Amino acid sequence: MKHKLKLTNAKTIYFEKIIYQLKDGTKKGYERVINLFYDYLNSKKVKTLDDVDSDLVVSFLSELSIKTSKEYANKAYSILKSYYQKLSDFNFYNGSIPFKPYMLFKLEKKVKYYLQDNEIQRIINLYNRNIERSKDPFPYLRNKVIFLILLTSGLRCNECLNLKMNDIDLKNKTILIRNTKTYKERLVPINQNILQELKKYIEMRSLNNKWNTDNLFFSDKNKIYKYDSFRRSLYRIAIKLKINKNHKLFPHNLRHKFASDWIKYNSNMFKLKVILGHSSIKTTEIYVNISDADICEENKIGKIKNVSKYKYF
């Protein structure tokens, strides 16, 4: 007789033996979805994972889409499918996986906002003006350097804000990322064009380091400069410079900009995957934004080379 995996046991195994290495924030997001699913299953008197069929899943996702949104229901689908799959891959569950592609909701394609080159330049110019005119230029230089690192290295914002002084190697022009989403260290290059600003910041940082902290970035009130503080500073910049009618300028926009620029000028998706710290090339593809106009322009100026062996004339 096949052993059925109880819901409570499955959840304990999943969080304590399978995804224990993931960041707390990521695990909380997963747990929120799993708890919603379990609440629904409990209301239907379901006790084991094996007793969940496709009809139950469709019914749950339908209710969830009404209470939240179709986008969140699709996110829940992905998390729960992975939940079953991981338990199966690690041989804790040997039943069927009742999640099928047809269960996903079709969503309207929304136009994503991508920072334009002229907007990037206007932001940098604003930082420069503030640095020149302020009696206390340190916070403006700090924010400018964070902005430039995110823009030219593709770091996640929290990866950048958690950097220590000894993670920066100016001689070899590298940044060691320790505090990653999946706890896997990686080395990324420092863009040659921002070296001077980074050196200037490190010099000014030594004069402002009241707590003798080894954090690369810090604030006057907190020893660690928080994500929300930097995000709010970008929001104020977006309003002041009238960037994007909804003022939706987030730190992650800079990671997207880095990725799209990398593909546009380097055309190597696999190197980009390593720099961004992705475990799958499919995740990297999401970050890339190349328009047909970009391709036609590259062809026009002769940047796209013919790689075939044939002679046309």
- Predicted confidence at residue 280, as pLDDT, reads 77
Residue 287 tokens, joined: 């970050």
Q: What is the CA radius of gyration of the chain?
A: 24
- Predicted confidence at residue 115, as pLDDT, reads 84
Euclidean distance between CA atoms 29 and 194, whole angstroms:
35
Summarize pLDDT for 126-156 with one digit per residue, the tens.
999 999 999 999 999 999 999 999 999 989 9
- List the pLDDT tens digit at each of the 313 positions of the chain: 457 899 999 999 999 999 988 878 889 999 999 999 999 999 999 999 999 999 999 999 999 999 999 999 999 999 999 999 999 999 999 999 999 999 999 987 666 667 888 999 999 999 999 999 999 999 999 999 999 999 999 899 999 999 999 999 999 999 999 877 666 788 999 999 999 999 999 999 999 988 889 999 999 877 789 999 999 999 999 999 988 766 678 999 999 888 888 887 776 788 888 888 877 777 777 766 655 555 555 555 555 454 444 443 3
Euclidean distance between CA atoms 234 and 231, whole angstroms:
5
pTM: 0.70
Q: Which residue has the tokens 């400069």?
A: 225
Runs of H (alpha helix) within the chain: 7-13, 24-43, 54-67, 70-89, 117-133, 138-153, 157-161, 195-208, 227-241, 251-265, 269-276, 281-287, 292-300
- Predicted confidence at residue 309, as pLDDT, reads 45
- Predicted confidence at residue 178, as pLDDT, reads 86
- Predicted confidence at residue 111, as pLDDT, reads 61
User: Do 273 and 244 meet the contact criterion of CB atoms below 8 Å apart?
Assistant: no
- Predicted confidence at residue 298, as pLDDT, reads 57
Tell me the backbone φ, ψ of residue 48, rounded to 5 degrees: -130, 160
Largest CA distance in the chain: 77
